[in-house]
Amino acid sequence: MKFYVYLITLILSLSLMDYSFSNPVGLTVQEGVIYREGKPIQTIGVNYFDGFHRAIKDPNDKSYEKGFAELNHYQIKFVRFAITPWWAYEFKLYFDDPAEFYRRLDLFVKSAEENNIGLIPSFFWKYAAAPDMMREPNQAWGDPDSKTTAFVKKITTEIVMRYRNSPAIWAWEFANEMDLQVDLPKANRSSMGEIFNPKNKLSWWCPPIRTEKDALRTADILHGMKVFSETVRSLDPLRMLSTGNAVPRAGSWHLYHHGKWGKNTRENFLEMLRIQNPEPYAISQHVYPDLPEIEAKEIVGESGDPYNRITLSAKWAKENKRAYFLGEWGWGRHFADKLEGPVNDEKEKRMRECVDRYITTIKNNNIQLAAIWVYDFNYNTPDSQIYTIRGDNRRAWVLDKIKEFNISIAK
């Protein structure tokens, strides 16, 4: 037994030989404060969800090069993006030709480096994709002996080892909004994951049916987070970690403790914020003004103001010496026109007011890291018309607003 302990220790030691403890790259956290290059940082970036995903689908798509150059022009310092595909089927490249998968990812990271863009890669954006690939139910996230757990360790190790010395990597993120999928009653489990549809090739790796074992529980995602953080920390001891969570559901405390809906109090909300964002992770939140939960006045005060949810959470994080990452923010679906067609002046006014309110909230609460949803969203969904921001469309003013903020903070 002593020999195996020695062997594991030796392997871990060798894996850290090229890691710089004295001059770590990326973001680090001390006492809840986020640092970059030894100094506290405050900046607004963007979500670039499919910046790399499009390169997975098409080896000739290097549109991210233009995107990174444009973001650099607007003084935007980092992007949050999906480093693995959405659908299980889209992992085919990774399994069939891993060298080609990493060749494309190398080019993406290199382009970010050349344009001085930081990267926050989110590993498991679609919670059902990894279990589907492994032909396991979603609760495999909570099984230490599952193929899903083994896959999480494998791909996390590969990516962290490959890119941990890149100055472009700012932080590592576990998943995207997995907290919204947990502990749901049977009547609310429509989002347990897609099922196989012979007419839709993207579903070819999905199971023919979903069962009770596909209903995610808090314990499942906490185990997944633990596996991810321990794997990363064995290879990259200092970079910031993010859960990628949204916000605790209005009834999350009651769902977790009693398996049924109920109204969270402020104390319930903060307890779930802590439980669902365990250390060593930063507190992650995604906040939008049209979420129905924001009307829970017991949580955010008499106004039910969604921006107060940010204030409350950021204050709690600071008091508890936890880093806080506002990983998504932006207008709601009912705020915005589609890009096609005439401008609705009233909606345009509300969008601008919304962005101003967020930026004021970020500034007043000294939120160090925030990313708007979404830059150059090229995924074929209605949301791409509602949310996408680029320098050459009629939402370029958003990039100007962020540039103005980032320059003012840098002075």
- What tens digit of pLDDT does each residue of 341-376 get? 888 999 899 999 999 999 999 999 999 999 999 999
Judge contact between 111 and 65, C-beta under 8 A: yes
State how far the Cα of 205 lies from the Cα of 379, in Å rounded to an integer.
Answer: 20
Is the CB of residue 329 less than 8 Å from the CB of residue 286?
yes
5-19, 26-40, 202-216, 232-246: least confidently modelled range: 5-19
- The model's confidence at residue 6, banded by pLDDT at 50, 70 and 90, is very low
- pLDDT of 247 higher than 70: yes
Which residues, other chains included, contact 254 with Cβ-Cβ below 8 Å and sequence gap of 6+? Answer: 260, 261, 262, 263, 264, 268
Output the pLDDT for position 293.
47
Q: For position 4, what pLDDT does the model report?
A: 38
Q: For the chain, list the domains and their CATH numbers.
A: 44-410 (3.20.20.80)
Q: What mean pLDDT, rounded, does the chain reach?
A: 89
Please report, rounded to a whole number, the percentage of residues in the chain having pLDDT higher than 70: 88
Query: Torsion over CA of 327, 180, 122 and 237, rounded to 10 degrees?
Result: 90
Residues contacting residue 40 through CB under 8 Å, at least 6 positions apart: 33, 34, 368
Owner of token pair 């840098």: 410
Sheet holding 39-40, edge to edge: 27-30, 33-36, 39-40
The residue whose two tokens read 């999480």 is 152
Q: What is the pLDDT of residue 106?
A: 98
**Which amino acid does the sequence have at 366?**
N
In tens, the pLDDT along 285-315 reads: 999 986 554 445 555 554 457 788 899 999 9
Average confidence (pLDDT) over 113-127: 98
Over range 187-195, report the average pLDDT.
73
Specify the pLDDT at position 340.
81
Q: What percent of the chain has pLDDT over 90?
A: 73
Average pLDDT over residues 271-294: 87
- Least Cα distance to 125 among 36, 242, 248, 220 occurs for 242
Query: Is residue 324 within 8 Å of 308, Cβ to Cβ?
Result: no
pLDDT at 299: 55
In this prediction the pTM is 0.92
Q: What is the per-residue pLDDT across 312-334, written as a single tens digit (0 to 9) for each?
A: 999 999 999 999 999 999 998 77
User: How does strand 171-175 pair with strand 240-242?
Assistant: parallel
**CA–CA gap between residue 41 and residue 402 (Å, rounded):** 15
Q: 278 vs 25, 250, 252, 262, 283, CA distance in Å?
A: 23, 19, 16, 23, 8
Give residue 272's Cα distance to chain centre.
Answer: 18
Write out pLDDT tens, residues 31-89. 999 999 999 999 999 999 999 999 999 999 999 999 999 999 999 999 999 999 988 88
Q: What is the pLDDT of residue 308?
A: 87
Looking at residues 163-191, what average pLDDT do you find? 92
Number of Cβ within a 10 Å radius of residue 16: 14
pLDDT at 12 over 70: no
Question: Which residue has tokens 């104390």?
Answer: 267
- 3-state secondary structure string across the chain: CHHHHHHHHHHHHHHCCCCCCCCCCCEEEECCEEEECCEECCEEEEECCCCCHHHHHCCCCCHHHHHHHHHHHCCCCEEEEECCCCCHHHHHHHHHCHHHHHHHHHHHHHHHHHCCCEEEEEEECCCCHHHHHCCCCHHHHHCCCCHHHHHHHHHHHHHHHHHCCCCCECEEEEECCHHHHCCCCHHHCCCCCCCCCCCCHHHCCCCCCCCHHHCCCHHHHHHHHHHHHHHHHHHCCCEEEECCCCCCCCCHHHHHHHCCCCCCCHHHHHHHHHHHCCCCCEEEEEECCCCHHHHCHHHHCCCCCHHHHHHHHHHHHHHCCCCEEEEEECCCHHHCCCCCCCCCHHHHHHHHHHHHHHHHHHHHCCCCEEEECCECCCCCCHHHHHHCECCCCCCHHHHHHHHHHHHHHHC
